[in-house]
Amino acid sequence: MSQSAFTYTFSFFLRHAPVILSVSLIVAISRVIQVGWEGYLPVVVFVILEIVVLAARVAIALIAIGEGALGPGLKKVRTIVRLSEAEKSAAFARMGQTIKEQWRAVLRDILLFGLTAIAINYVIGEVSQTRTVYSLMTSWGVPGSNEDSVQAAATLFMKNLTVIPLTIVFQYGIVRYLLRQERIERTAAVEGS
């Protein structure tokens, strides 16, 4: 059986931290602008930033699917979209079978990741409420309408660099585990040749 989704998530994140954090930084900065400059931004800028956030999160998912690279992720998605109905049914059946056989491992991974996400969110919440973070954010020019909005901007900045990209990778890791990904990767490699 392949590596657990929980272990996969953190090993993948650490192996590909530069690319994931670079894309996540785009999201984090966009969120700081949206929240920190709330009331100062024209609606069109807010909407454009929302599109940027969505595109960056899709890119993170494709990077995870591509095992660290965007191009291979797009190729895999294209392969998946082109699967026949029988192949899609077989994949769902394989996922169901894995859940039946490995439900304890799947549940363990979901609980471990959930607890980890709660811990990360707790730490971020505590850190973002410190006076130092408030001073840092305002020194960066985040006006905010009040201290709470500046703290919200700081919270979103940190979450978008940590727990949100980790969650995207974890979601892929669960699907990968349920599909017993090693078989799919061999098939995609043969098709790509």
What are the boundaries of each domain within the chain?
5-192
Yes or no: say if 144 and 153 are a contact pair by the CB < 8 Å rule. Answer: yes
d(CA 36, CA 144): 5
Contacts of range 65-72, beta carbons closer than 8 Å, 24 or more positions apart: 65/172, 67/12, 67/185, 68/12, 68/15, 68/16, 68/19, 69/19
Q: Establish how many alpha carbons lie within 13 A of residue 41's alpha carbon, considering only the half-sphere containing its beta carbon.
A: 21
pLDDT (0 to 100) of residue 147: 75
What tokens appear for 47 in the block? Answer: 């909407």
pTM of the model: 0.85
Q: What percent of the chain has pLDDT over 90?
A: 69
Query: If pLDDT is split at 50, 70 and 90, which confidence band does 180 have?
Result: confident
Question: What average pLDDT does the segment 149-169 reach?
Answer: 92
Q: Is the pLDDT of residue 184 over 50?
A: no
d(CA 155, CA 143): 15
